[in-house]
A and B are shown apart, each in its own frame.
Chain A
Amino acid sequence: MSIDLQTVKKIASLSRISVTEAEAEAMVPELNNILGWVEQLGEVDVTGVEPMTAVIPNRQRLRDDVVTDGNVRDKVLANAPQAEHGFFAVPKVIE
């Protein structure tokens, strides 16, 4: 399947990346080339094969349900583009 300009714009929007018209147009052949190439995977017979989620067998560990971290508010905020009154600040989202 090949993707068109509208699809590129939709992917960009889902990715939260703003693109200009010219950028979106340039991406159409680029993304089609890559997607066309990966589509060869469709020819592999995967009957009965489970999707691989972990490459090395490992077990999920549980730890004791106790506080091991915290009280580092200033460190958490230290790299924020805008921090006010001990919070991350963003543009107004509710009128």
Chain B
Amino acid sequence: MTDLTDLTVADIRDGFRAGNFSAREVAEAFNSNVAAAKALNAFIVETPEKALDAADAADKAKAAGEPLGALAGVPIGMKDLFCTLGVQTTAASHMLEGFVPTYESTVSGKLWAAGAGMLGKLNLDQFAMGSSNETSYFGNVISPWRRGGGDNAALAPGGSSGGSSAAIAARLCPAATGTDTGGSIRQPAAFTGISGIKPTYGRCSRWGIVAFASSLDQAGPMARTVRDNAILLEVMSGFDPKDSTSLDLPVPQWEANLSSDLRGKKVGVPKEYRPDGLNAEIAALWDRGIEWLKDAGAEVVEVSLPHTQYALPTYYIIAPAEASSNLARYDGVRYGQRDLPDGAGLQDMYAATRAAGFGPEVKRRIMIGTYVLSAGFYDAYYTQAQKVRALIARDFELAFEKCDLLLTPTAPSASFALGEKQADPLAMYLNDVFTVPASLAGLPAMAVPGGLDAAGLPIGLQIIGKALDEQTVLNASLAIEERASFTARPDKWW
């Protein structure tokens, strides 16, 4: 019999409807994989009973002939950045340890309303700040992937959505939510050989998602196939009056309109993404990707995004600035931890609470943000960064006069060993070099696996599209998926 945990979201949805298996059987199979994978540390909280409840509701609705939601019978993982009613939500921080929301985030609420069940809350970098999942208060997530040749070094699943990427690659869930501020869906997807899409800024409501950098934060799905991403994104998207930056637009039928026929499409290849010293295997995969898209009927043109080199420094001013403001809410008064030293006054309590509740990377970013927003430095840093951001966005606008989508690598390398880049924050920041520019411009961008490197680790490609054109992003990703025929999976060691 088929192992139910090897099925895609589409397979589960369709097989459940066809009566090939019950929703309960699916939920039990994934619950059991989750329970057996403690070594990966992908979950902060496991909620097997929630998965079973949703499955039972789906089975009952089916038996009664009632209409079924788009995700009826499909259990998923929820990044622990989404507030979930009655289930601890921590953002992987000590600050929010024990925080049990009295409300549900808009995106998670839409998924449950569509019939999905929750397997648990997935680990991440603390407050989504990191690229390796090494800043979680609840410990590192370990990638299910290992290098070949008996090298058992624990590898990074990417970050910040590292619990999501590890869990999907290890078949602990068929799909999960992620959030992407500068690459937090795409880079972990690339590191673990799965797909993930960050939609256009404003497609998914930010309401109820623990805020990091509000002008950049965007939720999106992660799964093993492009089709599964389209299915989830349709459910997650849509106007929400509770988020002032939510786009009041209808949600397209992305799944129904999937097509890997790219005839008539022009693919731009930005020359600035091929710096001297680009990893040779990444460069070779990129070349293969160009051939794949040509084979799908697309025409390939070279384009220029001249301000690319300034994207990372721009991001590392804007994101910390917004974080320092957003994280001011953690004051030990309304929710979260409180540290009240003997005889302390209110100001001492704030400072002690925040010293105890935030990890080192979070403190570093709050302090950088505070500095660049402080009197005397605001214009030199923050205003300048906002202006350069405008130039980066304009680069994309000009490039899109010549093409319909862009093809680039997702990350500059395959996964690295845990601890390898921990000592130098700057070296870690450079991981996001290919993903940050699209974030700054608010554009939809998707990571899709392309192959394995010489060490046997996944490497991936990124498709960036015009604002609101998720369909072309999904379609080009599908064209790559069909040609890359990526079927590799990690050998089970956990």
Contact = CB atoms under 8 A, between A and B. Distances in A.
Contacts of B440: 55
For the residues of A in contact with B, the DSSP-based class is: loop
B425 interface: yes
Contact of B334 (A27, A31, A88): A88
Interface string A38-55: 111110101001111111
A68 B84 CA distance: 21
B367 A31 contact: yes
Interface in B346-387: 346-352, 354-355, 358, 363-364, 366-368, 370-372, 374, 380-381, 383-387
Contact of A37 (B331, B370, B426): B426
A14 interface: yes
A56 B467 contact: yes
Sort chain B's interface into a size bin: 35 or more
A11 B381 CA distance: 15
A39 to B, nearest CB: 8
Interface residues of A, number: 51
Nearest to B368: A34
B483 interface: no
Interface string B176-208: 000000000000000000000000111000000
B244 A88 contact: no
A27 B367 contact: yes
Contacts of A11: 367, 370-371, 374
Contacts of A42: 380, 384
A12 interface: yes
Interface stretch (B68-76, B118-126, B253-261, B311-319): B311-319
A16 interface: yes
B161 interface: no
18 contacts: A14-B370, A14-B374, A16-B328, A19-B355, A41-B313, A41-B384, A42-B380, A42-B384, A44-B384, A51-B390, A53-B215, A55-B441, A56-B202, A60-B244, A61-B244, A75-B102, A79-B334, A91-B344
Interface in A1-49: 3, 7-8, 11-19, 27, 30-31, 33-35, 37-42, 44, 46, 49
